[in-house]
């Protein structure tokens, strides 16, 4: 047997055994850590875990790049792209199962327009062209839509959308009021409400992670002290937050770093009861909330009776940061309890 084949025959079972041992060891250690913190590991068993698919996907992508990029071509003299090499695995073994290619020294800055970097990236199959990746300040593509709305060219927008395209498909950035403001909500909702995703729990999937839940399992509504005084709200009071779609009862906390006229909270903390198989008494259900309940999917009907999406007119991105609200102190402001009350869906 060739020396390389013998080495492969030995390394594969050892690697497999090490992987299985590591998985079992980490699982047992995880359970012990939960027990030390007074948690019951059985409560977390058999829970749906879609994040595992993401983790495995990222692992396989990384493994694919690492295993497939080096020593390609029939003779093993190509990198990144090239014909399959039947001896590729043996070459990896010869080099300690490691392959790398450094970015050229002249290609380590301004990569979007660096000729050396783009040529290097194309040679490895990372990009399809060496043309500079231009960030347009004046967006020519938007101007084409705008000109069409003004009657130029053969491709024309529907008549009912013509004014909308001409207004919003501006080739230069500009500010405009939220679509809900345009829908004549007026001063009934004077406050801006925004959410931020905590860096430690970007998605609601984080509720399946017991360590992240120890960092944050509940959220409050932050409000500047001056705004709170204007509405006779004290630190820790329970308040009602209104939008045209409904209202939610939340706990308010004064926060000097919050802009006057703005309220905000963390996103991805509050959960609908029963989500992620959390215990019925989980704080995410009773002390956490989402502003999503106040954000309508559509804005009020226009003069033609059409209800349009409450979204950016160009990209279609939901208008998460366009929410306008008003706030009222609850009559029993010291009585805790989160509630959601959604008005009739077609009330607007």
pLDDT in tens, the chain (348 residues): 555 555 555 556 666 666 666 666 665 656 655 554 455 556 555 555 544 555 556 555 555 555 578 888 888 888 888 888 888 888 888 888 888 889 999 999 999 999 999 999 999 888 889 999 888 889 999 999 999 999 999 999 999 889 999 999 999 998 888 776 655 565 788 999 998 888 777 776 776 777 888 888 889 999 999 999 999 999 999 999 999 889 999 999 999 999 999 999 998 888 888 877 888 888 888 888 889 889 888 887 777 788 888 888 888 888 778 889 999 998 887 888 888 888 865 444
Question: Angle CA(311)–CA(317)–CA(321) in degrees, nearest 5?
Answer: 70
pLDDT recorded at residue 201? 75
Structure tokens at 289: 């909330």
Q: What are phi and psi of 38, to 5 degrees?
A: 80, 15
pLDDT recorded at residue 280? 87
pLDDT recorded at residue 224? 97
Q: How many CB atoms lie within 10 A of CB 201?
A: 20
CA quadruple 250, 252, 253, 259: dihedral positive or negative?
Answer: positive
CA quadruple 272, 277, 282, 284: dihedral positive or negative?
Answer: negative
The CATH number assigned to the domain with range 177-342 reads: 2.40.40.20
List 298's β-bridge partners, or say none: 309
Per-residue three-class SS string for the chain? CCHHHHHHHHHHHHHHHHHHHHHHHHHHHHHHHHHHCCCCHHHHCCCCCHHHHHHHHHHHHHHHHHHHHCCECCCCCECCCCCCCCCHHHHHHHCCCCCCCCCCHHHCCCCCCCHHHHHHHHHCCCCCCCCCCCCCCCCHHHHHHHHHHCCCCCCCCCHHHHHHHHHHCCCCCCCCCCHHHHHHHHHHCCEEEEEECCCCCCCHHHHHCHHHHHHCCCCCEEECHHHHHHCCCCCCCEEEEEECCEEEEEEEEECCCCCCCEEEEECCCCCCCCHHHCCCCCHHHHCCCCHHHHCCCECCCCCCCCCCECECCCCCCECCCCCEEEEEECCCCCCCCCEEEECCCCCC
Strand 238-243 to 262-266 pairing: unpaired
pLDDT recorded at residue 347? 44
Taking alpha carbons only, the member of 154, 311, 329 closest to residue 227 is 329
Q: How far is CA 51 from CA 177, 202, 208, 218, 348, in A?
A: 37, 12, 9, 21, 38
List 311's β-bridge partners, or say none: 318
List 221's β-bridge partners, or say none: 252
Q: Where in the chain is the domain with CATH 2.40.40.20?
A: 177-342
């Amino acid at each position: 047997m060739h020396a390389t084949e013998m080495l492969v025959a030995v390394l594969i079972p050892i690697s497999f055994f090490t992987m299985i041992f590591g998985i079992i060891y980490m699982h047992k250690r995880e359970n012990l850590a939960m027990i030390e913190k007074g948690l019951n590991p059985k409560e977390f068993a058999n829970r749906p875990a879609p994040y595992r698919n993401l983790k495995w996907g990222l692992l396989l992508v990384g493994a694919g790049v690492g295993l497939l990029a080096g020593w390609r071509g029939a003779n093993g003299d190509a990198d990144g792209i090239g014909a399959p090499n039947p001896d590729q695995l043996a070459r990896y073994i010869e080099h300690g199962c490691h392959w790398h290619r450094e970015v050229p020294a002249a290609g380590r800055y301004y990569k979007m327009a660096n000729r050396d970097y783009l040529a290097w990236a194309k040679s490895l199959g990372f990009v399809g062209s060496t043309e500079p990746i231009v960030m347009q300040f004046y967006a020519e593509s938007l101007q084409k839509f705008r000109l069409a709305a003004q009657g130029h060219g053969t491709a024309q927008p529907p008549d009912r959308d013509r004014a909308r395209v001409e207004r919003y498909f501006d080739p230069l950035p500009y500010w405009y009021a939220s679509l809900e403001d345009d829908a004549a909500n007026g001063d009934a909702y004077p406050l801006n409400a925004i959410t931020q995703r905590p860096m430690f729990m970007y998605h609601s999937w984080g509720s399946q992670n017991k360590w992240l839940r120890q960092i944050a399992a509940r959220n409050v509504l932050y409000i500047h002290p001056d705004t709170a005084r204007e509405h006779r709200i004290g630190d820790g009071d329970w308040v009602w937050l209104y939008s045209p779609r409904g209202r939610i009862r939340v706990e308010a906390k004064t926060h000097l770093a919050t802009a006057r006229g703005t309220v905000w909270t963390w996103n991805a903390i509050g959960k609908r009861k029963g989500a992620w198989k959390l215990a019925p008494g989980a704080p995410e259900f009773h002390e956490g909330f989402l502003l999503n309940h106040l954000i309508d999917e559509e804005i009020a009907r226009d003069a033609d009776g059409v209800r349009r999406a409450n979204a950016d007119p160009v990209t279609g991105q939901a208008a998460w940061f366009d929410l306008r609200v008003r706030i009222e102190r609850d009559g029993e402001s010291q009585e805790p309890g989160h509630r959601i009350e959604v008005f009739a869906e077609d009330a607007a």
